[in-house]
Structure 1
């Protein structure tokens, strides 16, 4: 693990080969720090390149979907999720997450750990939340694991997270790992902004979701599950990209905001949105109160069977 301060990133390698980077280029370029790109053990990119590094045949929707990130659509009426240099609603109220430091880095055999801090700022630049995040990077054979443990603390008064659709921990995957699209779609956010997602050439598009309850395809969206596994192929390489929830997280087991066009997210805070008002959570933090979110991202150069996903789930549940 190397901190390239001039490049505003921490580079993570396995056996000397690039795995991912924690990048924090600042709000002029990105409205939050992210992990980008993500590679398999063979070096295959599993994250979308656009808008950072466009690749032929990719979708060019949702410019705020970059790499792997954690944020939310409504925090004290500030939209952190949709914020980018070209936000969907130019006059909307957006929040920005600003990297404030690298606390520690530890490199070791098949394991590394990175601890960072960030501030969640309102539209006027005032600190709303203090963030402390630890990433634990692991490698076993052709499997790569990233655990993200993020503690958010209310910094200046009460902070409310009303139930909305767009959140919380997410990855935007490469085109090949999307579901084959059979019709154009229009997705509307909580502000009423619609994004059109057209039908595209499905050649080489192989993705398919499967969750811990055996639900497959795009039906995993708005379903509760302990984990969801996206399996597909890029070239001749079988690939799994899986996200695992943690039993200590609020809202466990969470609802999944996993879309066929390549957005793969878990949202424990969107209960009202995902149940048409039948359930609600509306998380609130009092001043100086904290909540911690724990997620595991698994990238494997093979299709992970359900039994192994269950083992990974059990193992992750032991993480504090």
Structure 2
């Protein structure tokens, strides 16, 4: 269904006559359940909400650099050669959590492995509330319901995406407000969360040990030696932690650098000082999962910090704010720190 998505992005609004530099155009297609985001007629990303038969939550997919290279993994929607075929719930850029009133929203997919017992929650798109295209910046507001195993809504989500573009950068701000409906909602400490990207193979860390991969049908394959050709990823956090050691540490931001098709890339995720749990813990893995999770201090600290077990009373709301910067070239730590300060205060 979504294999033509790149083609849709490429042709969207080429005929609209937009000639302004860094003109960000949003185009909603209800028939394909897609809001495409282009910059001067070239693809940037798309908000897609195909529904639970395809994806158990809406996502941004794909996400491209200013040079036109995808920073997101293609599989399972649009597989590319040499990709890992694990974790079918890792698609594009998403926001969910592993234990919400006992429901697993994170691991839910159309191909749930036997290791995931449930019950599972599903996030269902309910509306495009507003769209505003513009030069250098555009805004999209969408809503969704977080449903329990019986299809009953426990949370109402409102998300504002703000897309930015310059000659060498793309930015995505995600501001998500969750409102508890008729019952209190408990986010129990769980490592699976919360805002996340599954990045392209080129941005993974080079593999140094044998791995076992499970395909979409649950078939496990042992791979003694991975082909690391073109795999160039490297995490660096605001606290100076590098590589796989970033996992389970707190930081205001993390920068993932690498090279895709000859284009040097920095993918930076920024936390916000108003978020609960700031500075967030990072659920970032060398195999390509790049996630920030502020809600599981006991898990990430191996019990050194008390559990948060965040409870949202019925009728109350909580807001999460994040920024993702996709830059052509390597951003310095100082540049990122300055931007983090500007974003977070």
TM-score of the alignment, normalized to the shorter chain, above 0.5: yes
Listed one character per residue, the Cα deviations across residues 268-313 of structure 1 (whole Å, up to 9, x for unaligned) are: 0111110111212110001011110000011011111101101210
Are 1:28 and 2:53 an aligned pair?
Answer: yes
1:190 aligned partner:
none
2:9 aligned partner:
none
Out of 285, 289, 311, the position equivalent to 2:312 is 285
- Give 3-state SS (helix, strand or coil) of 1:218's partner: helix
1:147 aligned partner:
173
Listed one character per residue, the Cα deviations across residues 172-212 of structure 1 (whole Å, up to 9, x for unaligned) are: 0000100001013579xxxxx9x988552111100000000
**2-structure distance, mates of 1:63, 1:134:** 26
**2-structure distance, mates of 1:197, 1:27:** 31
- Give 3-state SS (helix, strand or coil) of 1:219's partner: helix
Please, which runs of 5 or more residues in structure 2 have no aligned partner? 1-25
Larger-Rg structure? 2
Report which stretch shifted further, 234-243 or 171-180.
Answer: 234-243
Per-residue deviation at 1:91?
A: 4.7
**2-structure distance, mates of 1:229, 1:196:** 31
Out of 288, 313, 322, the position equivalent to 1:295 is 322
**1-structure distance, mates of 2:248, 2:256:** 16
2:341 aligned partner:
314
Per-residue deviation at 1:242?
A: 0.8
Aligned residues: 312
Out of 94, 97, 103, the position equivalent to 1:78 is 103
Are 1:3 and 2:28 an aligned pair?
Answer: yes
Please, which runs of 5 or more residues in structure 1 have no aligned partner? 188-192
Q: CA RMSD in A?
A: 1.6
**2-structure distance, mates of 1:275, 1:245:** 19
**2-structure distance, mates of 1:19, 1:72:** 26
- For the 8 Å contact 2:69–2:261, the answer to whether it is kept is no
**2-structure distance, mates of 1:270, 1:131:** 21
Listed one character per residue, the Cα deviations across residues 189-241 of structure 1 (whole Å, up to 9, x for unaligned) are: xxxx9x98855211110000000011111100000000000000012110011
Per-residue deviation at 1:74?
A: 0.3
Listed one character per residue, the Cα deviations across residues 46-89 of structure 1 (whole Å, up to 9, x for unaligned) are: 10000000000000000000000000000000000000001123
Are 1:275 and 2:301 an aligned pair?
Answer: yes
- Give 3-state SS (helix, strand or coil) of 2:337's partner: helix
- For the 8 Å contact 2:39–2:165, the answer to whether it is kept is yes
- Give 3-state SS (helix, strand or coil) of 2:299's partner: helix
- For the 8 Å contact 2:51–2:125, the answer to whether it is kept is yes
TM-score, structure 2 normalization = 0.88
Listed one character per residue, the Cα deviations across residues 21-67 of structure 1 (whole Å, up to 9, x for unaligned) are: 00000000000000000000011011000000000000000000000
The equivalences for 1:1-320 within 5 A come to 1-89=26-114, 91-184=117-210, 198=223, 199-279=225-305, 280-318=307-345
TM-score, structure 1 normalization = 0.95
- For the 8 Å contact 1:113–1:134, the answer to whether it is kept is yes
- Give 3-state SS (helix, strand or coil) of 1:258's partner: coil
Listed one character per residue, the Cα deviations across residues 237-274 of structure 1 (whole Å, up to 9, x for unaligned) are: 10011100000000000000000000000000111110
**1-structure distance, mates of 2:80, 2:326:** 21
